[in-house]
Amino acid sequence: MAKVRLGKLADVPPGRSRTFPYAGKKVLVCNVNGAIAAYENFCPHMGGAMSYDGKKIQCSWHGACFTAAKGEAISGIAEGSALTPFIVTIEGEDLYLETDSIPKSPWANDF
């Protein structure tokens, strides 16, 4: 698996989040009680930026809420949808994005 270093685990203390850029995408990394969860920082409703308050992830535009552990919608305008998950691992003191976990466009092989 290909991976790229995002930053240090210390950049994302428990109950907090940070967005890291990678290849034109924004990777929202949340520290959920010591476990790392990562998603594309893009609301499935209309693409708003997401934030994590230590309990849930919320869209800054319309208030849709998602679980931090699984990215599933729990309330708001995006009910029934989910955030796009990415795989981020911890190696020593660093966070690594597994680049193979980023979904490819259905048209990626057409060109």
Domain ranges of the chain: 3-102
For 85-98, the pLDDT digits (tens) are 999 999 999 999 99
Give the number of other Cβ atoms within 10 Å of residue 88's Cβ. Answer: 23
State the average pLDDT for the chain.
Answer: 90
For 60-78, the pLDDT digits (tens) are 998 999 999 999 999 887 6
pLDDT for residue 107 is more than 80: no
Class of domain 3-102: mainly beta
- Rounded to whole angstroms, the Cα distance separating 105 from 91 reads 29
Collect all residues with Cβ–Cβ distance below 8 Å to 76 and sequence separation of at least 6. Answer: 58, 59, 62, 63, 64, 65
For 27-57, the pLDDT digits (tens) are 999 999 999 999 999 999 888 999 999 999 9
Distances (CA, A) of 76 to 59, 82, 100: 9, 12, 30
